[in-house]
Amino acid sequence: MTSNSSHPTSSSKILDGKKVASDIRSEVSLKVEQLKKEDKRAPNLAIIIVGDDGASHTYVNGKIKACKAVGFDYTLMHFASTISEDKLLKHVDQLNDDEDIDGFIVQLPLPEHISVEKVTERIKPEKDVDGFTNQNFGSIVSKNPLILPATPFGVMEILRRYDIPLEGKHCVVVGSSRLVGAPLSMMLLEEGRATVTVCNKYTTDLASHTKEADILIVAVGKPNLITKDMVKPGVVIVDVGTTRVEDSSSKTGFKLSGDVDYEAVSEISSYITPVPGGVGPMTIASLLLNTMRAYEQQHLNG
């Protein structure tokens, strides 16, 4: 796969998440068209959003736009930040029981008075298209994973579509969060058959680990944490971090920065994801794949 990059100074090949996400949307669109030819309904994704957090609404709008692009139906439920936990759980139960809803997500963050874990665990695993429930999380280490967490799934899909071998490679994951680092390390072990080292904020001498990586995946949200002297030549870099950094030269007053010093590290890496345009678009593309899979499991495979 070739890529047109906005970073012409780089000697690395770009892992173009935008391009891969576009390919996935095209593939999903074809499946939806085929369903309609067979007089079947399109998959329906429901989205719950609580409150008026600006970033959350931006993310949700991106998900709605993606649904429209591939021909999915979507259901948006917006509640005030004052909604009680019990009321929100009742709405989750309604979506669980609604046969016309194939999958749904509850956009995070939630107000402090609502337990994220309680809400997440209330979602039926077969409709949990974010892949956050304990059952879906645990299924990663089974021979039959159910629905995979969207961002790690996106990372694996980029590596697969660029034919980057994982088996026997040393993958170093910096960041061990429940959303990205932990599930991704399990997927690299199970699906990729890689040798995996996981680093976190308690790791001493981080560079001693990152220098050993054949494939380095960073997901901590600290701009430019990984510098050129911390990696070996030829390393494959996947940068999951996205942080707003002040930038007076930008119209918005900020720019998006990854966890890796892109300009310097790309001089010696073999492949690298840009920020933006790398892993970000893949998260929504993975959500579409998960929704299609949920639809197929509930309506076509039984």
Q: Are 204 and 161 in contact (CB under 8 A)?
A: no
Residue 94 known to be catalytic: no
Determine the longest span between alpha carbons in the chain, in angstroms. 59
218 forms beta bridges with 174, 239
Catalytic residue among 16, 102, 128, 130: 130
Catalytic residue among 107, 127, 214, 239: 107
Which two structure tokens, joined as six digits, stand for 76?
């948006």
Residue 63 known to be catalytic: yes
CA distance 26 to 213: 33
Give Cα separations from 233 to 12, 216, 269, 294 (angstroms). 10, 12, 6, 41
Residue 251 known to be catalytic: no
CA distance 219 to 228: 17
H or E element in which residue 172 lies: strand 170-174
Catalytic residue among 13, 63, 127, 214: 63
Torsional sign, CA 91, 97, 99, 105: positive
Collect contacts of 113-122 with beta carbons under 8 A, ≥24 apart: 113/84, 113/85, 114/50, 114/83, 114/85, 114/88, 115/85, 118/85, 118/89, 119/85, 119/88, 119/89, 119/92, 122/89, 122/92, 122/93, 122/96
> Which residues are annotated as catalytic?
63, 107, 130
